[in-house]
Amino acid sequence: MNTTMPGTAHVNVTLAADGMLVLLLFFIGVIGVWWALGSLKWENIVRQPLSGQAQLLRFFLALVGGILTVLVAVLLLGSIQLLNGSL
């Protein structure tokens, strides 16, 4: 007996694809922000720029940048779906 509703497989595939896109954008955002933070003169910001604490600060800033990248992407994807009438 099939208890799934018609069309739910398409919804699951769409959600999986959107989830993979969000994860991909998050990782690209983290790598991009990490790369961009590398061009800063860290010796002007922290006393020991190569210390573990400075690298952890750079990592957390890169995570925040990745999250902001995902938020912008979700906003754009939602706007596109609204314009297409999908929502």
**Angle, CA 63 vertex, CA 62 and CA 68 arms, to 5°:** 95
pLDDT tens column, 12-28: 777 788 788 889 999 99
- Give a yes or no: residue 24 inside a domain: yes
At residue 8, the pLDDT reads: 64
Q: Could you tell me where the beta strands, DSSP code E, fall in 5-86?
A: none
Given a contact cutoff of 8 angstroms between Cβ atoms, the answer to whether 13 and 57 are in contact is: no
With beta carbons less than 8 A apart as the criterion, state whether 61 and 33 touch.
yes
Q: Is 9 among the domain residues?
A: no
**Does the pLDDT of residue 7 top 70, yes or no?**
no
pLDDT, tens digit, for every residue of 31-80?
999 999 999 898 998 899 889 999 999 999 999 999 999 999 889 888 98
Domain that holds residue 75: 17-84
Whether 4 has a pLDDT exceeding 70, the answer reads: no
Q: Is residue 74 part of a domain?
A: yes
Nearest to 61 by CA among 84, 87, 38: 38
**Domains in the chain, number:** 1
